[in-house]
Amino acid sequence: MNAANTSFMILSSILVLFMTPGLAFFYGGLVSKRNVVNTMLSVFIMTGVAIVLWIVIGYSLSFSGNIGGVVGDVKNFFMNGVDLTSLTATKIPTGIFSVFEMMFAIITPALFVGAVVGRIKFNFLLVFLILWSIIIYYPMVHLVWSPNGLLAGLGTLDFAGGTVVHINAGVTAFVLSAFLGKRVKFGDIPHTHYNLPWVLLGATILWIGWYGFNAGSAMGVDNIAAQATITTTMSTGTAMVTWMILDMIINGKPTLVGVCTGTLCGLVGVTPACGFVTIAGSFWIGMFSTFASYFFVNYLKDRIGVDDALDAFGCHGVSGIVGSIATGLFATKSVNPIVAHNGAFYGGGFHQLGVQIIATLATIVFVTIAASIIIKLLSLVMPMRVNRKEEKMGLDKGEHGEEADYTVDMSENLDEYRSDLNLYSKEFRGQLGGLDTNKDPHLH
């Protein structure tokens, strides 16, 4: 094995794993106080579920064999027959390659959880996550990242998951939201976020983890990994500032939630392109992605009427679509020799742009149809949505019997939690102890 590449891939895998608890903090900070536990658990449980699923069947369906260019086979069920020490093209063990790809299988379904928090039954979500991974995610990995995949054969450029991760999760978020219907308290102003420092913490962890996501997708330490690191940074900084400026111009003031959302849009937008574009290309992708997401979230979303609670589609879906298509504009051989056709802005004509548009549309159509079928069939055997009473009470108590805050409001439990001052008030009054304020109006 190449020790440097292998070390780098182990570190990248850990960084991508770090993103999922980061996402739990990001989403957990954004929701209302009543749904914090439910939101964080719904995101974090994917670490366990996706790991087991990946070992049992995910790796095999993604990377072993080939059925029609759409999906693999199940010959490597439970990783049986996989030589974990055999080396890939960049001289890393297959076992480590599998672990790296496993981390993507964890974070991707966790992304769309944000769309449906506060109103979906946990049991329904759990079964949906499992079926979604098998029927949608693993085939998407095979289509785009397996050498035998149909979209790979078409020449699709997706460095770290524009189609496979972000468009996939974003469209799923939209479909789930549409089937679920709006929240009971939809449109309540103001919407109270549970913990804004958590939102910043989560966004920061995601940004840090994203270097594993993007640079790690080079599969080793080389100039492409270095380029992905630079372009990821540039796009994200650009997007963060762009969202803040839009907020200041349109709403008159910058917001922390806005800046954190913009940061995410820049990360999402550059994901498919990061190993194929120049720094200038990443600047424009960061800006375009943020413009598109900003106007979708603030203007289009309400008109469409689909209640995506934490804008999983508005951020991941929209920025992912922009980034995926923009790869066809900005990709260049000068950055990565694997690029067969330069992007439209680098003298390559419309070939690569056309390929990117086809791949993007194919992803949207496949995910929409497959997710709709899973939801429809699953709804026949189990309820999808919590009842009105539980939704108003909050899913933390209803679904899990837990609360994010155990600090007790004094006003709610005065009998149980009385301070010493209340219990022994006479002793604390000192000289005023003998005075009756009711008899002397001057003492009021």
H-assigned helices in 184-295: 196-214, 223-250, 256-270, 279-295
For residues 50-66, one letter each, b for 16 or more C-beta atoms within 10 angstroms of the residue's C-beta and e for the rest, the string is bbebbbebbbbbbbbeb
Residue 142 lies in a domain: yes
pLDDT at 441: 54
Note the pLDDT tens digit of each residue in 327-386.
Answer: 999 999 999 999 999 999 999 999 999 999 999 999 999 999 999 999 999 999 999 999
Q: Is 143 helix (H, G, I), strand (E, B) or coil?
A: helix
Residue 428 lies in a domain: no
Residue 345 lies in a domain: yes
Number of domains in the chain: 1
Mean pLDDT of all residues in the chain?
92
Q: Are 12 and 229 in contact (CB under 8 A)?
A: no
CATH of the domain at 102: 1.10.3430.10
Phi-psi region of 311 (alpha: psi -120 to 50; beta: other; left: phi over 0): left
Residue 26 lies in a domain: yes
Q: What is the identity of the amino acid at 242?
A: T
pLDDT at 11 over 70: yes
Note the pLDDT tens digit of each residue in 126-152.
Answer: 999 999 999 999 999 999 999 999 999
Which residue would you say has higher pLDDT here, 423 or 91?
91
pLDDT at 184: 84
Tokens standing for residue 260:
């954190």
What separation in angstroms does the CA of 390 have from each of 119, 333, 386? 9, 55, 6
For residues 99-135, one letter each, b for 16 or more C-beta atoms within 10 angstroms of the residue's C-beta and e for the rest, the string is bbbbbbbbbbbbbbbbbbbbbbbbebbeebbbbbbbe
What separation in angstroms does the CA of 70 have from each of 64, 136, 140, 148? 12, 10, 8, 8
Residue 422 lies in a domain: no
> What percent of the chain is predicted at pLDDT more than 90?
87
Span 283-299, mean pLDDT? Answer: 97
Span 21-34, mean pLDDT? Answer: 95
In 307-442, the DSSP E strands lie at: none
pTM over 0.85: yes
Query: Position of tokens 């550059």?
Result: 270
pLDDT at 438 over 70: no
Please report which confidence band the pLDDT of residue 279 belongs to, taking 50, 70 and 90 as the band edges.
very high
The count of C-alpha atoms lying within 13 angstroms of the C-alpha of 166, restricted to the half-sphere facing its C-beta, is 34
Note the pLDDT tens digit of each residue in 207-238.
Answer: 999 999 999 999 999 999 999 999 999 999 99
Vertex 151, ends 149 and 155: CA angle to 5°? 110
pLDDT at 192: 79
Alpha-carbon distance of 33 to 28, in angstroms, equals: 9
Please report which confidence band the pLDDT of residue 82 belongs to, taking 50, 70 and 90 as the band edges.
very high
Residue 385 lies in a domain: yes
Residue 242 lies in a domain: yes
| Domain, as residue range, for 33 | 3-204+211-400
Note the pLDDT tens digit of each residue in 420-435.
Answer: 555 566 665 655 555 5
Residue 431 lies in a domain: no
Query: Position of tokens 């420092």?
Result: 197
